[in-house]
Chain A
Amino acid sequence: MSQNDDIKIIGSILEGNTANYSVLVDRYKDMVFSLILKVIRNREEAEEAAQDTFLKAFHALHGFKHEARFSTWLFRIAYNTAVSRTRKKSIITQAIDERMVENYSTDEIRESTGLLDEQQQIELMNAALKTLQKDEQMLINLFYQHQQSVEEIGMITGLSVSNVKVKLHRIRKKLYANMAERMQLKFA
């Protein structure tokens, strides 16, 4: 999915071919839904927020100035929608034990996860991700799954580039620490 292709579609929508918006919705619906679900953690509410996101994006489409990728612009709307919804209803997240953060060896984790099959690796990763705060989940998801750069994540979240880098670094450490803990329990 190229940026040029997105721009052509947006141009045609603004010229009155409203039906073409379905191409953009189809293209990004899973990404947006998945991203919002990381924050809201409730499928029904996430679906509503994802719908809100696409409707807001549609009505604001004339304001898209092509300064960023369309996906970045859309994720920014999704991020703001998700955050404003969670402000209304606080969601409890399980915090990781801070003492664990420094107490692991990444080589050991890489070796031991290599012993797991793909499904087990997915389960391990999912379990580790669930221990992150919702904003941390959103950041790591944007970076690895949605291929947004540090600068683009800054645009989406309103954080500075250096702040995004620091946060990503810390999140990675948390993830490794949590995986280490789970691997220790598994092979103990």
Chain B
Amino acid sequence: MTDTAEPDAPYAVELAGITKRFPGVVANRDISLRVRQGEVHALCGENGAGKSTLMKILYGQLRPDEGTIAVNGEPVVFRSPADAIRVGIGMVHQHFMLADNLTIAENVLLGAERRLGIGAKAKAEIARLAATVGLDDDPDTLVEHLGVADRQRCEIIKVLYRGARIVILDEPTAVLVPQEVEDLFETIRGMKAEGYTFLFISHKLDEVRAIADSITVIRRGTYVGTADPREVTTRKLAEMMVGSELPSPQTRESTVTDREVLRIEGLQLAGEGAPLLDGIDLVVHAGEVLGIAGVEGNGQTELVETIMGIRRATAGRIVLGHGDRARDITKATTLERREAGIGYIPEDRSRHALLASQPLWANRVLGHQTRPPVARRRLIGLINRAAARKDTQRIVEEFDVRTPGVDVPAAALSGGNQQKLVIGRELSGDPVLLIAAHPTRGVDVGAQAGIWDELRAARHRGLAVLLISADLDELIGLSDTIKVMLRGRLVADADPATVTPEQLGAAMTGADGPEEGAA
């Protein structure tokens, strides 16, 4: 790894003591970061660690509550991204901001028409930059025709066109296939030689090691350390990201039976570039909690939605039940899957689980509108309001939902109470399988414990649970088995009682390859 950084030059970027608070959470606490000129500096951490917040501050989208920023040795204060752009910082977002119906040139020029106009001179410059980043297409091509990797190049050109010398890349490899990742790294190396500085946000340690000169790790909003990839081991890095201790699972008797409840074979889901699900095989038994570990964005959401029928698999099978009660539900509608006994706790309750302005009892009906007690047994197609209210009251009491009544709109409840309501609803009607995606996200600690107790009790009664979580406490505390998901595949199995943080972290970040130590 060539080192083009000059040791005596001022730092390209120097963040000191950055603190940023949001209501109820401290996203960044006293973080420092130093990036040399001409360096590729990686910023690593799990979801929720505070990486994106830090970069938004550096890019001028957020103002820090405390701390200073210096660029090329000069202290700066950013009031908006325009200020950051002016000093040569450019950000390539994880989610591209491109207009499909406009050409490459138009997307690049938008907002920067004053630099070189929008005619031949501008296009010549764009063509030159395109060569720098390896984009072959004519600038007059519609972005709609570009593949994912080329769109990313387009975003990089946007940034370069505005004079950026310091480029922030936010999870750039999230949507790329391995060959495209290699192409991107080639481009970065080439640009590094021309004097560009890169800040590279990622949680994929194997890639980070291949490209970075320096790695800074953040965990839970605080700075953990900076390492030189040539000297640090992957295991050590993973431990920095994930923590040196894992919660210990509570000893308990196993409730896992050998009755299969859910069997998934070869599940495929095509995506724009890389497949979103790439050959998933798993089995969940009655009385078992199967936990899926992994950093977000590796296909967990897609897996859950495919099981629930919100997305249709491109290939593979989903079977519910076993023996002669087994049902192939690969092509069933969402309602049919629910009626067959699948409960679903979505990761984003406000978008997928609740009707915000409707009263609690109406939310009780959602997903259960064809089943008693909410649906009338004898008069088909009718809703039994009184029964819905009564059952909602039951949920409120059993699950300790703090609410003045069952008539308040769901939006009036706090996040934790909303989640308790959702869980109570999904556990009603005796499901055989529960899909729980981040079930305690945004829930206060007290409610969290209560939810865990409910899940354990349900498991004891024979419920099969597929648990997706980024919270290792939750995952290790609840699961009987853990599988790790990375890039749409299940890459590792782990036993919660015996897995070490290095193993789990390494599997989650793809670092458990043969490379360890020197590049």
Real complex partners, A and B?
no
